[in-house]
C-alpha cells in the first residue's frame, strides 16, 4: 500500500510549552497537502513531528499517534 500520513491527536511540547495541540490530519496517497498559518502557529513543529525529528530535541516530546 502507498505511503500516506495519519496524525491522530498529535500534541508537541518544548519543555512545558505546548506548541501544537491535538492535531488530526489524514493525507491520502498521491495527493499534495499544504500547511498554512501565521508565523509561530506550529507548522514546522508539526512537520518535524511527522519526520520524527521533534523527539530528538532535548526536552521536547510528542504525544498522540503518527503513522
Ligand X SMILES: Nc1ncnc2c1ncn2[C@@H]1O[C@H](COP(=O)(O)OP(=O)(O)OP(=O)(O)O)[C@@H](O)[C@H]1O
DSSP designation for 29: T
Q: Which of 16, 30, 36, 40 touches ligand X (CB under 6 A)? A: 40
- Picking from 54, 45, 51, 47, the residue whose alpha carbon sits closest to that of residue 20 is 45
Pattern 35-64, Mg ion, x by CB under 5 A: --------xx--------------------
- What is the length of the chain? 67
Q: Which does 39 bind (CB under 5 to 8 A by kind): Mg ion, ligand X, none?
A: ligand X
Sort strands 5-14 and 60-66 into parallel, antiparallel or unpaired: antiparallel
- Picking from 25, 23, 43, the residue whose alpha carbon sits closest to that of residue 35 is 43
User: Cβ closer to Mg ion: 5 or 47?
Assistant: 47
By CB under 6 A, tell whether 10 contacts ligand X: no
- Which residues are at the interface with ligand X (CB under 6 A)? 14, 17, 19, 37, 39-45
Amino acid at each position: 500500500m502507498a505511503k500516506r500520513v495519519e496524525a491522530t491527536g498529535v500534541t508537541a511540547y518544548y519543555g512545558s510549552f505546548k506548541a501544537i495541540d491535538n492535531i488530526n490530519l489524514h493525507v491520502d496517497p498521491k495527493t499534495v497537502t499544504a500547511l498554512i498559518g501565521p508565523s509561530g502557529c506550529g507548522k514546522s513543529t508539526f512537520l518535524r513531528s511527522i519526520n520524527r525529528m521533534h523527539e530528538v530535541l532535548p526536552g521536547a516530546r510528542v504525544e498522540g499517534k503518527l503513522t
